[in-house]
Structures are given as C-alpha cells and as structure tokens.
Structure 1
Amino acid sequence: MKNVRELSVLPGLVIVAIIGAVVSPAFLSAANLTLILRQSAELGIVVIGLTFILLTGKLDISLESTVGLAPMVAAWLLIPAAVGGLGTEINEFGAIGITIGIGMLVGLFNGFLVVKVKLDPFIVTLAMLILLRGITLGISEGKTLAGLPEAFRYVGSARWAGIPAAIWITGILFLIAGLLLRYTSWGRALYAIGGNAEAARAAGIRVDFVLITAFVAASALAAFAGLMLAGRLASVTSGMGENLIFSALAAAVIGGVQLTGGQGRIVGALMGVLLLGTLTNVLTLAGVPTFWINAVYGAVILLALLVGRLGAKPGVR
C-alpha cells in the first residue's frame, strides 16, 4: 500500500489530460507536451529540495527568494556596468559557481538558525524570504538584467537530442533524489528524523548534521533552478521566483509528502509537479485568466488533503 499511495494522483493527472485534449486539439501535440515539461522544470527542482526538508518535519519558504537572489547577484557581477551590472565582469563559469555558492550559504544560515539556535523554521525562513527579496530588489533597482553570456544561459536554453536540456536535467535530478532517499543512510535519516527526531538521535543518527545538509541541499537546488530559469528567460528579473514556493508546496502535498514529516516519496512529488504543470497548461489553453489559477491550486490542495485523509490508515506510512 505504501509503495503506491503517492501514485493516487495519477487518475487526476489522466483526467486533466483528457480535459486538455477536449479543450484544445493542440494539447496532445509533441510541442505542447514538451512545453509543459519545460515550464515545470524549475518548479520540479525546487520541489526536490523542499521534499528533503519536509520529510524531516521542517519547512523552508525562503527557497523562492533564493531562486531570484542567487542568479541576480551572479548576473550583477557578470554583466557590464553599462547594462546594469556592477562592472566587475567576472568569468561566466565563476558566476555559475557563485550562484550555487549563494544557495548553499543561504541554506547553511537557515539550517544553523533552525537547528542550532532552535528558532521556528517557518518564522526564520519567512524572514529570509523577505530579506532576500529585498536584497534582490536593491541590487537590481527593480530592473531586469539582460545580456547574459551563453555559458551562463546554457542549462536553461540548450537542447539535447532535440529536447530542452532542462527536461533531461530535471529528470536526472529526480532519479538521483529517489535513489538517495531509498538507498542511502542520509535519505533514510530524513525519514527517521521526520518520524521521531529523538528516537533517531538515540539510534545514532547525526540529526543536526542531516538537518543542516537538507537545508543546504534544498537551497543549492533552488539556486540552480534560478540559474535554469535565467537561461530560459535570457535575463534575470527582479521578481524571479516570486510565489514559486506556493506551487512547490502544492506539488509536494498533492504528491503525498506530509508537512508533519516522515512520509512521502519523490515519485509522488514528481506526480504533483506534473499535475500542476498540466493543469496550468490546460487552464491557459482554455483561456482562463492567470489570476484564477492560484484559486484552482488551492482547491486542488484541499482535495488532495481530503483524499489523503480519507485514504489513510492508522499506523501506515
């Protein structure tokens, strides 16, 4: 039962796909299906990181700001002053390293405050979300930074075998995440900590280390998602990543990842991402105004919670 529980979202995905085929004959075209996967790539990468943290029973809502800040700082250091940069014009590969490095530092700081200082993860990461967004706006002065070199845009713009590289990369990251959670001591420790942190500690698990590395990994993935998004847009915008955390939480919850920790599988998170991506595409093809999409997301989350509650059995994880 526990091996297929997260796949309960699959019927919903099939239903949405059928509706999409009825709404528009273009829905099932290869170009549109590729578009769905491409537009879901950044969300999927953030969801992987968020899943790591949720499995421990913690939360990080600052990931969306890391998506915007990390590539913004890198682009600011990368491009000439004449087009909005600082003027240092660092090497593009160095800029890529800075992007990931910033993500890791943000995760390390969040993890330290939550694990070592014992602050509430929601409040800490809410403060960080606001702080990082403010820094992003301050650096960019509300402007879009463009003129990014090809190497910096590569992961978001390249195509491998005729398919966007972002789709391949996201699929590989989901596969790696699944293997980590299933076959490594670190992955099993995430579940153990989410189930009972004190029992995990008594069993010899380095709880603090595992928690902090989960925050670092999640923020590094968010920074990489920002790099990928910058490549797709060929620019870094001041509002990049805004509200992404709500979609990420929605995908995780829909996919069966429990906010209380200790339960959920990466395949369920993937199903949640695909459902939201497909749903957004269908609503767009149907001409539904963008501002109604968030309302639909909320309804889908509530439905997923109800289905999960009704389908849950005491003692089953």
Structure 2
Amino acid sequence: MRGERVRRRELVLLSALVLLIVVGALSTPGFLTKANLIGLLGASAALALVVLAESLVVLTGQFDLSLESTVGLAPAVGALLVMPAASAGLGSQWPAVAGLLAVVAVGALIGFINGLLVVRLRLNACIATLAMLIVLRGMLVGATRGGTLLDLPPAFFAPATTMVFGLPLAVWLVAAVFAAAAWVLRYHRLGRAVYLIGGNPQAAHAAGIRVERITWSVFVLAGVLASVGGLIVTGYVGALNANQGNGMIFAVFAAAVLGGISLEGGRGTMLGALLGVLLLGVAQNLLTLAQVPLFWIQAIYGVIILGALMTARLTSRKGQN
C-alpha cells in the first residue's frame, strides 16, 4: 500500500511537471529555447545536489540547516588556497586539483562536526545546525572580506562550463549521483537501514543496525554533496561572493517536501526528490522570465512547503483510515 502511494505521488509530480512545461511553452515564447532549457538544468544542478544531501539527512530523522553555508564556505576555502595573495587569496597558491580536494574536505569536515553535535553530543539537530549555519556564514564573510572572489582558476568553473553531449558536466554528475543514491536506498542494506533509522530508531537498534555510525556518515556525505553543489554555483555564477548560498535552504526544503520527503523521517524517494527539484526549477524559471520579483518567489517557496505538508498529512490520515 505504501509503495502504491509513493508511485502515485511520483506520477502526480511528473504530470504536474509536464503540465507546467506545456503552460510555459504556450505562455512564454523563450521558455522552450535550447539556451533556456540548458540554463534551467544547469541552474538546477547545484540545488539538486543540496536537496539530495538534505533528503538523506531527513530520511534518518534529522535536519541539517547549515548546508546553505557549506555551499559558500567550502569552495571559498578551496579558492583562497589556490589564489595568489595579489588576488585576495592566502598566498599559498596550491595546485587547482589540491584546491578542489580541499573543497570536498571542508564539506566533509563540516558534516563531521554536525554529526558530532547531533549524534554524539545529542544536541537538537535544528538548533545545532542553525548555529553552524550562522558560524559558517560569518566565516565566509570574514574569509572573503565581505567581497567577491573573481580571479578563480578555470578548474573551479569546469563542472558548470564543461559541455558533455550538449549538457553541462554538472547535469550528468547530478544524474549519476541521484541514480546511485536511488539504487542504494532501494536495493542495498545500507539504504534499508537509513529508512529504518528514520522511521523507527528503536527498531533499528534492536535489529543490530549501527544507528549512530550511519547517521554520522550521512551528515558527512551531506557536507560533501553540499560542497560540490557550491562548486557548481561558483562555476555557474562565474565568481564567489560572501552571500553564496544565502537563503538556499528555503528552496531546498521546498523541493524536498514537494518531492515527498517526509520531515518526520523514514519516507521518501530520490526520484520524488529529483522531480521536486525539476518542478521547482521550471516554476522559478517561468517566474523569472515573467519578471516576478525575487521576494515573491521566496514567498511561493513557503506556500509550496505548507501545501505539501498539509497534503502529506491529509494523505497519511486517509491511509490510516
């Protein structure tokens, strides 16, 4: 019964996505152009990775609000290690490859610290990761001196600018990562453990699942995914500023909840999350083409979250009856 509900929800999301594309094609002449569609997918790639990161954490019954700050700080640290002092860098002038590895390492470190706070010290996940968001945001502003880093090496732009079979490399990367995550969650025992941890942690303990280790590892993985997402944002924008990632968490939760990721943990699929990202990306693209102000788009995200939550609650009540 639960599987049927999940498939029905995904079918509804797919139908809504197709309907929105048709409406966009009929109402906005520039929507179906090749350049716009490629730009839409490229712009959605970073959001998709962060949504995947948040979805995995939420599936374990936890939250990570600091991901949006990881999107900014991780690539900033890598860039500062590579850039010369004359370009506002640290002067260490690491090779570009080492800088990219540093980006991933910073994301993993942030995830490790979040896991330490939530899993080992048992702090409230929302409050602890909100505090981390503020700390990391302050560190980003301090590291960039509140300005913009422009003289970045070409390697930092590669995921967003390198074209493979007509699409940015970032799009193929997102497709591969989502496919891998979907396969693990559905067919691997680790994926089944993640669902059980989020749905019933006591039962997971009783079944011999290492709840703390897996949850902690998911936080680390989420930090890595967010750091790569930040790298894609940097390449897409062509620079790195002190506000990178700011406010992104609203779109992340909107896409995840819209895609059927339960905020109570233990329920949701990667296909649903990806459809949520695409649906949100198409909607934002249409609103942008229609020159709707950004603050209205943010308000729409809030409405989407509330609507999806109420729909999920009504659906679960009908299922219980």
Q: Is the Cα contact below 8 Å between 1:5 and 1:256 reproduced in 2? A: no
Moved more, 261-270 or 24-33: 24-33
Aligned to 2:54: 50
Q: Does 1:301 align with 2:305?
A: yes
Distance change >3 Å, CA 261–CA 251, structure 1 → 2 = same
Q: Is the Cα contact below 8 Å between 1:6 and 1:264 reproduced in 2? A: no
Aligned to 1:112: 116
Q: Is the Cα contact below 8 Å between 1:106 and 1:219 reproduced in 2? A: yes
For residue 223 of structure 1, report the CA deviation from its aligned partner: 0.4
For residue 300 of structure 1, report the CA deviation from its aligned partner: 2.0
Q: Does 1:233 align with 2:242?
A: no
Aligned to 1:200: 204
Q: Does 1:87 align with 2:88?
A: no
Q: Does 1:247 align with 2:257?
A: no
Deviation by residue 1:76-127 (Cα, 9 ceiling, x = unmatched): 1111111111111111100011100000011011001111111000011000
Q: How does 1:237-276 map to 2 (within 5 A)?
A: 237-276=241-280
Aligned to 1:17: 21
Deviation by residue 1:10-37 (Cα, 9 ceiling, x = unmatched): 2322332232123212212222222211
For residue 204 of structure 1, report the CA deviation from its aligned partner: 0.5
Q: State the secondary structure of the residue aligned to 2:263.
A: coil
Rounded to whole Å, the distance in 1 between the matches of 2:305 and 2:249 is 14
Q: Does 1:183 align with 2:187?
A: yes
Question: Which residue identity lines up with residue 214 of structure 1 in the other structure?
Answer: V
For residue 227 of structure 1, report the CA deviation from its aligned partner: 1.2
For residue 183 of structure 1, report the CA deviation from its aligned partner: 1.5
Q: Is the Cα contact below 8 Å between 1:23 and 1:282 reproduced in 2? A: no
Question: Which residue identity lines up with residue 240 of structure 2 in the other structure?
Answer: V
Moved more, 296-305 or 268-277: 296-305
For residue 229 of structure 1, report the CA deviation from its aligned partner: 1.4
Q: Is the Cα contact below 8 Å between 1:177 and 1:266 reproduced in 2? A: yes
Aligned to 1:163: 167
Aligned to 1:212: 216
RMSD over aligned CA atoms reads 1.4
For residue 228 of structure 1, report the CA deviation from its aligned partner: 1.5
Q: Number of aligned pairs?
A: 316
Rounded to whole Å, the distance in 1 between the matches of 2:35 and 2:89 is 35
**Aligned match of 1:33 in 32, 37, 52?**
37
For residue 3 of structure 1, report the CA deviation from its aligned partner: 4.1
Deviation by residue 1:242-287 (Cα, 9 ceiling, x = unmatched): 1111111110000010001010000110011001100001111112
For residue 170 of structure 1, report the CA deviation from its aligned partner: 0.9
Which TM-score applies when normalising by structure 2? Answer: 0.95
Distance change >3 Å, CA 234–CA 116, structure 1 → 2 = same
Moved more, 211-220 or 164-173: 164-173
**Aligned match of 2:128 in 108, 115, 124?**
124
Question: Which residue identity lines up with residue 4 of structure 1 in the other structure?
Answer: R
Q: Is the Cα contact below 8 Å between 2:67 and 2:223 reproduced in 1? A: yes
Rounded to whole Å, the distance in 2 between the matches of 1:186 and 1:49 is 16
Rounded to whole Å, the distance in 2 between the matches of 1:35 and 1:153 is 15
Stretches of structure 2 lacking an aligned partner (at least 5 in a row): none
Distance change >3 Å, CA 315–CA 191, structure 1 → 2 = farther
For residue 63 of structure 1, report the CA deviation from its aligned partner: 0.3
Rounded to whole Å, the distance in 2 between the matches of 1:175 and 1:305 is 26
Rounded to whole Å, the distance in 1 between the matches of 2:309 and 2:263 is 11
Stretches of structure 1 lacking an aligned partner (at least 5 in a row): none
Q: State the secondary structure of the residue aligned to 2:255.
A: helix
Which TM-score applies when normalising by structure 1? Answer: 0.96
Rounded to whole Å, the distance in 2 between the matches of 1:281 and 1:235 is 21
Rounded to whole Å, the distance in 2 between the matches of 1:5 and 1:212 is 32
Q: Is the Cα contact below 8 Å between 2:31 and 2:286 reproduced in 1? A: yes
**Aligned match of 2:82 in 78, 82, 85?**
78
For residue 5 of structure 1, report the CA deviation from its aligned partner: 3.6
Aligned to 2:315: 311
Q: State the secondary structure of the residue aligned to 1:148.
A: coil
